[in-house]
Structure formats: C-alpha cells, structure tokens
Amino acid sequence: MTDIPQEEANTTALPLQGLRVVEFTHMVMGPTCGMVLADLGAEVIKVEPVAGEGTRTLQGAGSGFFPMFNRNKKSIGLDLHTPAGAEAARRLAASADVVIENFKPGTMAKYGLDFPSLSAANPRLIYASHKGFLPGPYERRTALDEVVQMMGGLAYMTGRPGDPVRAGTSVNDIMGGLFGAIAVMGALIQRGITGRGMEVQSALFENNVFLMGQHMLQYAVTGRPPQPMPARDNPWAVYDVFTVAGGEQIFLAAVSDAQWRLFCRALGLDDLLQDAALATNHQRVNLRPQLLRTLAERLAHRSAAELAALMEAAGLPFAPIRRPEELLDDPHLLASGGLADVVLPDGARAGQTAKTTLLPFTLDGRRAGVRLQPPRLGEHTDGLLASVGYDPAQVEALRTAGCAR
C-alpha cells in the first residue's frame, strides 16, 4: 500500500486509505467500482486517453455521468497506443494494489495491462474486470445496460404486457460496478491472509439475472410464470398509485389486516372497515379491482400532502410520486447529509457547483463525502508520473510527444 496522500491526511480515517487503485475505465460500470473504492478512502487514479474519457463530453441523459462517477479520483492522460504511453501506464499499474478495467475482452492484453502480465511482476495485485458477460458462450458479445435488461427479463418485468421498458436508470451498470467493488474488497481480505492477489470479474448480464432471481424462483416454486409488474397478481389489495386533487399522484399501501384497519381509520373510511367482505387480505385481493375503483373515487378530491400527513401519522407506507430534480430539495437528504457539492470539471458549466448523491450508508455515523472534486483531464499527471520514477524532463518529453497530457 502507498503512503496516505497529504490532502487526505487530516480527514477522518476511511477503511481503504493507503490503497492505490489504477483504473482504465469508461462510461458507468467501471467508474462506479472506482468511485466506491475512492469514496472509501483509496487513492484512485483514472487513466484517460489524452483527449479525455468520453463521458466528459456527453450531453443530455449522459451529462451527469462523469461528475457523478469520478469524484475522489485523480486524472492522468496517457495515449496507450504509443509505446511510451503504454509503458507509463504499466509503471503506474505496477505501483497499484488494485487495477480496474471495463474494456472488451483482449483489449488490455494488447498493452501488457492484462492480469497475467501485471500479476507476473506483482503477485499481490488484485485485478477487477467489468464485462458484459462472464466467461461463456456470450462473452464476446457487445453489451449495454439495455441489451441485458432486454435479454435478462428486467425490461419484460418493468413494462406492460407486450411493451418491454428499460428501467429508468443505469441499473446494471451501477450495480455491476458495486459488485465489482464488493469482489475487490473480498479479494483484499483474502490477500491479507495469503499474501496473494487475484482476478475478480463482474458482468452486466449476470448482475441482471441476479436481480431476476426472485422471479425465477417464484416460477420454480409456483409453476406460474411471473407477470410484468403492471399486470402482476398483487399479493396486497391496497398497493397502488392514486391520482388525487390537482392531478398529483401518491402511492398508498396497506399490506396486512392490521394496516388495513389503520388505513381505514386514518382516512375516514369506516364504512369499508365495517364491510365483512373486505375483512381479510385474501378477500380484499379477490375484490381488488372494485376496491381500487372505490378508493380512487373517495380519495380523488383530497390532496397528496393531506394524505401523506395522515399516512405518516398512522405509521403506514406511502410515497408521493417525485421527479429526480425534486430530490435536490428533499428535506431528509439535505438534513441527513445525503447530498454533497461537486465542482463540474467540463462543459459549459465547468467550475460551477452542483449537488451529487453520496453512497447510501454511514461509517461511524458519517457519510463518505467528497474529498477530491471530479478531476480535470490530466490534472494530476505530473505528480503521478513522478510517483513512479519520472523526472520533470521525462514528463515534459511525454507531453511534447503527445503520449501524455
């Protein structure tokens, strides 16, 4: 492990401080793995092409990728297509505890940056590959989050019958990176016992299949194919979205007989509570379509805020239907430290601050925050090359030759 960087020396101790991670990643999956390790205190070095990692310049739905998944990292620009650039990358990798990559099979071997090449010189190295598929018949296919959602059942389960729909965020990319980070931390523990590193792999398709495991087992247990979520046989009668006053929407639920009684009392539905045909959850499920129509009519004139207050007071599950931009002002997230400011490194708003979400857990009562802003391209090139033996003249020569930035 490397010395703890000076800029981190005065921060609260984090579990992975002193660990050096070199990542050769792009898009979301690999950078997510690196972000998790960085948030937990590791020194994470992002090796980018001299033109910059592609998500720096994405627009629209991709404009949040780079600042979201690359905080707490350092950036070095290297041209791996040049012998000098590839050599600098190998020297960096040789200094690492962990190397992360998420390129097509065979790509890293072209530059001597694959696990067999690097581990021969450093048997303690942990090498995390993030792929579309784990080794097998599909491993050479090109995968995207949409690809595995479609072939892995998630789009089918999310959309209405006959209308498969992609989930509204990069579910498999993000979770694939999380599982990669989990595997890395397991390998670190094993290395502490044996003294040897290992290669770990995470993949989009297998991640998606893991998410589908509950539905696969549902079929195995019941013999009935699971239906898409909008058409499924719901095990609870009151478990739906209601449109209320002003066109607002709110999700309300009562998932037990005790909750049904609380629900009726809280919302002033005493007549439904007295209806013997609705006494048990099984009875209510059998009458679900009729019951939901009745509830929709009875609640339509009431506001979402009023219903939310009544449900919260009764200890019942509820949720107003929110949009992502509304979460930036969520009182719980603001009060609990769930959001943090980052300085945007690229684009028209470069240098301005924006709020980002932090990892959803605490360490000793604290959230793992932003220690380093999402880096500018090549922001740390000089210091990182110096750390693996390059003198200033050699660094300048690499930069002049276009091998580094």
pLDDT number for residue 233: 79
Cβ–Cβ < 8 Å for 169, 139: no
Q: Which positions ≥6 away from 65 have C-beta within 8 Å?
A: 27, 28, 31, 55, 58
The domain segmentation of the chain, as residue ranges, is 6-211+337-400, 234-324
Pairing of strands 362-363, 366-367: antiparallel
**Which is the CATH superfamily of the domain at 6-211+337-400?**
Crotonobetainyl-coa:carnitine coa-transferase; domain 1 (3.40.50.10540)
Give the pLDDT score at 231.
87
pLDDT of 268 strictly over 90: yes
**How far does Cα 151 stand from its chain's mean position?**
20
Number of C-beta neighbours around residue 70 at 10 A: 29
First to last CA, the chain: 26
The residues, any chain, with a CB within 8 Å of residue 71's CB and separated by 6 or more, are 35, 38, 39, 342, 356, 370, 372, 373, 374
- Residue 150, amino acid: M
Decide if pLDDT at 3 tops 50: no
- Per-residue model confidence as pLDDT tens digits over 289-341: 999 999 999 999 999 999 999 999 999 999 999 999 999 999 999 999 999 99
Q: Is the pLDDT of residue 194 over 60?
A: yes
Angle 338-21-352 from CA coordinates, rounded to 5°: 45
For residues 250-256, average pLDDT: 98
Using a pLDDT cut of 90, give the percent of the chain over it. 95
Mean pLDDT of the chain: 95
Cα separation, 333 vs 382, whole angstroms: 38
Distance separating alpha carbons of residues 347 and 118, to the nearest angstrom = 35
Round to whole Å and give the CA distance between 366 and 120: 39
Asked if 103 and 127 touch (Cβ cutoff 8 Å), the reply is no
Contact criterion met (CB below 8 Å) for 129 and 199: yes
* pLDDT exceeds 70 at position 9: no
Buried b (16+ CB within 10 A) or exposed e, 371-387: ebbbbbbbbbbbebbeb
Sheet holding 238-243, edge to edge: 238-243, 249-254, 318-320
Residue 306: predicted pLDDT: 98
pLDDT tens figures, 100-133:
999 999 999 999 999 999 999 999 999 999 999 9
- Under 8 Å between Cβ of 6 and 153: no
Q: What percent of the chain has a predicted confidence (pLDDT) above 70?
A: 97
Residue with the bigger pLDDT between 61 and 233: it is: 61
pLDDT at 2: 46
Tokens of 90: 């190998």
d(CA 152, CA 33): 22
Q: Which of 86, 115, 88, 90 is nearest to 101 (CA)?
A: 115
**Do the beta carbons of residue 242 and residue 295 sit within 8 Å?**
yes
**14, 363 contact by CB (below 8 A):** yes
Helices 213-222, 204-211: inter-axial angle, 10-degree rounding: 50
Q: Is the pLDDT of residue 29 over 80?
A: yes
Which token pair is 303? Answer: 């506001």
Q: What is the mean pLDDT of residues 242-247?
A: 98
284, 237 Cβ separation under 8 angstroms: yes
Say if pTM beats, i.e. exceeds, 0.75. Answer: yes
Instruction: Write out pLDDT tens, residues 135-177.
Output: 999 999 999 999 999 999 999 999 999 999 999 999 999 999 9
Region of poorest pLDDT, from 6-15, 19-28, 58-67, 213-222: 6-15
Identify the pLDDT of residue 236. Answer: 94
Write the single-letter amino acid at 305. Answer: A
The correct CATH number of 234-324 out of 1.10.10.10, 3.40.50.620, 3.50.50.60, 3.30.1540.10 is 3.30.1540.10
pLDDT at position 12, please? Answer: 62
